[in-house]
Amino acid sequence: MAPTNLNRKRTYAQLVRARPVAPVRPVVHARPVVHRWFKYFDDVEFDDCRINRAFSVIVKVDVKFHPEAYGDIQRFILMDATGSKMEAIVSGENAARFTNILIVGQKYTIHGVYFKPNSWEINFRAIKRDYDCFFTRTTIIESYNLPLQFPLYPKQLTKFSDLSLPEHRNKTFVDIAGIIVYLGPLQRVSNRLYREVTLLDTRCDLVVIGTI
């Protein structure tokens, strides 16, 4: 039997340094870019109604009417920063939502506003304009707190001589300006206090207004 050589060189496994593992960064999906098209009421054109595009407006709620029918139709009169006014109509299940959100005298930025031609000759409208605006379930309302000054007076004033026109006889909403020349006595009519006021405009036209 051959002798065993005990002087063999021992071999060792070489240690391999582990490579540092780079931290895995979370995947961030880019948010879709939302384009906002801001619009003044006087800049609305027929093409804005035809393309069915949603716009954004900065407005102050001037008037909020009582809900109509069974509460599924709500009308507002809005005024933009130029003093121009437009009627806003909300119908269906969204009427109660906007009735509770919008407050008279407050300013808002409203996104998702659509425009349509005004059909005041067929359907009742509170003011006479070429276009209306309406809200949908995708309309977003934000409080407007930036120092944008709204005018104290509206841009369009109705002449006293135009108040007798047919379009102003059906309880339409108008803005007038004049000087009080006569203040009638306070009376009680049908359990309500009633008083008549006579106004004079710059054209020396007179109009009598009954206040309740």
205 and 139 within one domain:
no
95 and 51 within one domain:
yes
In the predicted model, is pLDDT for residue 33 greater than 60?
no
Nearest to 65 by CA among 81, 89, 41, 84: 89
To the nearest whole number, what is the mean pLDDT of the chain? Answer: 81
- State which amino acid sits at residue 140: I
Predicted confidence (pLDDT) per residue in 157-189, tens digit: 888 888 877 766 666 788 888 999 999 998 888
3-state percent helix, strand, coil for the chain, nearest multiple of 5: 10, 35, 55
133 and 86 within one domain:
yes
Predicted confidence (pLDDT) per residue in 42-73, tens digit: 999 988 888 878 999 999 999 998 887 677 88
CATH of residue 72: 2.40.50.140
Ranked by mean pLDDT, which of 8-12, 28-32, 43-47 comes out on top?
A: 43-47
Boundaries of domain holding 207: 160-211
Average pLDDT over residues 5-31: 56
Across 13-17, 90-94, 137-141, 149-153, least confident range: 13-17
112 and 67 within one domain:
yes
Structure tokens at 25: 């960064």
Nearest to 54 by CA among 156, 171, 135: 135
173 and 117 within one domain:
no
